Chain A
Amino acid sequence: MIIPKLAFRNMLGAGAKTWLNAVVLSMAFVAIIWSQGLYIGIDAEVSRAMIEAECGGGQYWVEGYDPFDPFTIQDAHRPLTGPLRTLVEKGQATPFLIVQGTIYPGGRIVPVLLKGIDPGQKLLSIPSSVLKTADNELPALIGARMSATSGLKKGDTVTVRWRDAKGTFDAKDLQIVEVMRTTVQSIDSGQIWLPLQTLQEMAGMPSEATIVVTEKNYGPAVPIPGWTFKNLDYLLDDIKSVIQAKTIGSSILYSILLFLAMLAIFNTQLLSIWRRRKEIGTMMALGFSRGKVIRLFTLEGALNGVLAALVGAVYGIPLLAYTATHGLGLPADQIDSFGIAISEKLYPTYSGALVIGTTILVFSITTIVSFMPTRKIAKLKPTDALRGKLT
């Protein structure tokens, strides 16, 4: 118990420099929790939106289907049979059919993905019920991004051309019955949603589908021949790496802060050991072993971490609590430029695990940089220390 007591006394006696180090370190502390909380908040928000709009509890893909390889889409359709059909009939899954097509808005040629969705589905947040209309031969739903890039608005009619199962081209006029605002880009850009059955007929693929979306919390996934199950980890992987890339900027900021704080602590330690070498000699004469001196100095340095946590708590807790309850407003025009699905108000999530994890991280790094300079003491002879010698 003596070492903590002495370390505490020494730290309090050390004055301004200690506080300066603690303030810098506390800023790193708060910045880490802040940006990680923001990241977790974005991640949770994006995952939630994607699960609700598109991913459900995971998807069955027709074997061979690869959304990044357009050549696979041609053959990516298959009748719904057996257990999949049962799932759909029980309302525990809903199928998408995906067909490549082209539209000609204002004379331009725009390649699109035609996606068939059951207008009666209730699993996903896509407002597919707007396609349940009798007045229209080919009602279509698009997202706001698609609307912006194609120039198509609610009520507009446009010619769509596609190739059916046999390889023959056909064309028809579709009418935009709704433009939906969604934060999920992957149900919006370059896509046109049509009633499933209509698309199946147009493409000559009756009762067929490309993807079957299961209901939320579906599982465990049963293997179904001809289909591959893609779980949420897989489906959200891309977007998660995008978020991660986007938040690297903020981690650079706190890494620099952390690095500066560590440098300051390391330097303070080195200086303090040099300045107090005679004191070290005296402590040894009074019966301190080198091990005890090392522990004392390491703890003194490590207390910077504790002090930083306290200082950080003073301004960090109100700041973080405010953003967690009131959310962070993002300017509307920034939302899309972010390139991922986020809503206009973000609620950072500061979990206990995050705070504890950050605390452990900061304490460990502080302890390590406090310990490193004490290596000098390990070889120090008491007589040399007393004479003020330190090599």
Chain B
Amino acid sequence: MENSILIKTVDLTKVYPMGGQSITALDSVSLTFRKGEFAGLVGPSGSGKTTLLNILGSLDAPTKGSAEVLGEKVETLSHKKAAALRNRHIGFIFQTFNLLPVYTAYENVEFPLLLLGLPPAARKKAVMDALDWVHLADRAKSRPNQLSGGQCQRVAIARAVVKKPSLILADEPTANLDAENSHHILHTMEDINRELRSTFIFATHDEKVIGHLRRKIVLVDGKVAKDEVIKAA
């Protein structure tokens, strides 16, 4: 089970029409991710990191090629099925945190569980556990505008991991954080990776993040330029 394949892309290509021309954001990307990986997509701006992450997260469909995520072919998934896949198995962490502003930290973390239809008691325990992981249990009642950037991102991490998903996709999670907060959340994510065996895939150009990665995939102009294991798990 340890080495079971979670994601497999074959010749994944994404072309954006731009007026008369078109932009090839991803060009025949073939990659495999296994359970428990802590991997990162790195590369210059515009190299296709976000695009790839979005397709892996079934938020977007490829133009060509295929992406099998947790046994589902993203390119053939209906909008509703894709939503269900994300809800059940995929956690997202964004550069801009993307917390729901009128909800408290607790309610933000609870959101995916409400959608999953978890009973109240189980929900409460899971939310408090997740807030514990990110050391924010005492701020459960705070709203995003009462929290610092680092705290917001920790709430976002709690929201992504609360349902113990198989896959967590983090697009530039540290870009809006200072060094200390960045290290803090990276440690948190490493802990969660170890504890839950969730696969983490980052998109980043932050050296601090790259330093924590166990696998580094370099994208250049939508192509995989390098794919190396940095350190063993």
Instruction: Please report A residues at the B interface, Cβ cutoff 8 Å.
Output: 2, 5-6, 9-10, 12-14, 278-279, 281-292, 381-383, 386
Contact = CB atoms under 8 A, between A and B. Distances in A.
Contact of B87 (A12, A281, A287, A383): A287
Given A2-B115, A13-B102, A290 B86 contact: no
Interface stretch (B67-75, B76-84, B203-211): B76-84
A284 B102 contact: no
Given A284-B83, A289-B79, 9 more contacts: A2-B115, A6-B114, A9-B107, A278-B98, A286-B112, A287-B88, A287-B116, A382-B59, A386-B94
A381 B98 contact: no
A285 B92 contact: yes
A286 B98 CA distance: 11
B86 A285 contact: yes
A278 B95 CA distance: 13
B91 to A, nearest CB: 9
10 contacts: A2-B117, A5-B114, A9-B107, A12-B102, A14-B102, A278-B96, A279-B100, A284-B83, A287-B84, A287-B115
A14 B101 CA distance: 10
Given A2-B114, A13-B102, A282 B94 contact: yes
Interface in B92-150: 92, 94, 96, 98, 100-103, 107, 111-112, 114-117
Contact of B112 (A13, A287, A382): A287
B59 A284 contact: yes
Nearest to A382: B59
User: How many B residues are at the interface, by size bracket?
Assistant: 20 to 34
Given A2-B114, A291-B80, A286 B92 contact: yes
Contacts of A284: 59, 83, 86
B188 interface: no
Contact of B54 (A286, A290, A383): A383
B57 interface: yes
Given A286-B111, A383-B54, A10 B84 contact: no
Interface of B: 54, 57, 59-60, 79-80, 83-84, 86-88, 92, 94, 96, 98, 100-103, 107, 111-112, 114-117, 159
From A10, A290, A292, A382, name the one whose CB has the most chain B CB atoms within 10 angstroms. Answer: A382
The list of the 5 closest CB pairs from A to B, nearest first, reads A287-B87, A13-B102, A289-B83, A282-B98, A382-B59
A255 B164 CA distance: 53
A255 B53 CA distance: 51
A279 B101 contact: yes
Nearest to A2: B114
A383 B83 contact: no
B95 to A, nearest CB: 10
Main secondary structure of the interface of A (DSSP, over half): helix
B102 A9 contact: yes
A216 B114 CA distance: 63
Given A286-B92, A287-B88, A383 B59 contact: yes
A374 to B, nearest CB: 15
Contacts of B54: 383
A9 to B, nearest CB: 6
Nearest to A13: B102
A383 B54 CA distance: 7
B199 to A, nearest CB: 17
A279 B97 CA distance: 11
Contact of A383 (B60, B79, B112): B60
B115 A386 contact: no
Nearest to B60: A383
A362 to B, nearest CB: 25
Contacts of A278: 96, 98
A72 B198 CA distance: 96
B79 A290 contact: yes
A282 B100 contact: yes
A147 to B, nearest CB: 70
Contacts of B117: 2
A381 B60 CA distance: 8
Contacts of A288: 83, 87, 115
Contacts of A285: 57, 59, 86, 92, 94, 98
A289 B80 contact: yes
B86 to A, nearest CB: 5
A14 B103 CA distance: 11
